[in-house]
Amino acid sequence: MAKFSVIHKDGGWYPITPHDLEISNKYPAGLIDVIDITGKRNVLLFRKFWSICRMIYDNDKGGKFRDIHHVKDNLLILAGYVDQCWLMDGNFYLRPHSVSFESCSDEKFKEIWTKILPHVMNFLGVTEEEINDNLIFYV
């Protein structure tokens, strides 16, 4: 079983991205199945979020981040979207919330976006407009 994003238009469901189309094409023509609609999400904002994580990772001159998932975790912690988890020795760690389609509503994702944007601009030393101008290289 695979998951991919679709859009409903003209009476049918269509894959959104080339990756979604690739997954969709793996299923035989005429297949009858059931789909689970998880709700409306702003796919463009979701892609923009991951593109910004890539942008930060690519511009991390100090080598602070292991990968884009480490950047994502860092942004969510800075924005306060975490659970405090206790260890048996009495210490704790922060576990970032998920931003997956299944676990993060569009409303919550927009809140997260608003809270991380100042951190992104500060880290990169740019304005939101400059970020948007350079996103074309990351989408």
How far apart CA 55 and CA 47 sit, in angstroms, is: 12
State yes or no: pLDDT of 15 exceeds 90: no
Handedness of CA 99, 103, 109, 115 (dihedral sign): negative
For a pLDDT cut of 70, what percent of the chain falls above it?
93
pLDDT at 94 over 80: yes
Residue 64 confidence class, pLDDT cut points 50, 70, 90:
very high
In DSSP terms, 15 is beta-bridged to 6
pLDDT(2) > 70: yes
Q: What is the pLDDT of residue 139?
A: 60
Query: Residue 97 has what pLDDT?
Result: 92
86 pLDDT band (50/70/90 cuts)? very high
Question: Is the pLDDT higher at 77 or at 5?
Answer: 77
**Which whole-number Å values give the CA distances from 46 to 25, 64, 80, 116, 127, in the listed order?**
23, 23, 18, 13, 20
Which residues are registered as beta bridge partners of 9? 12
pLDDT of amino acid 117? 92
Instruction: Decide: helix, strand or coil at residue 15.
Output: strand
0.75 cut: is pTM over it?
no
- 40 — pLDDT class (breaks 50, 70, 90): low
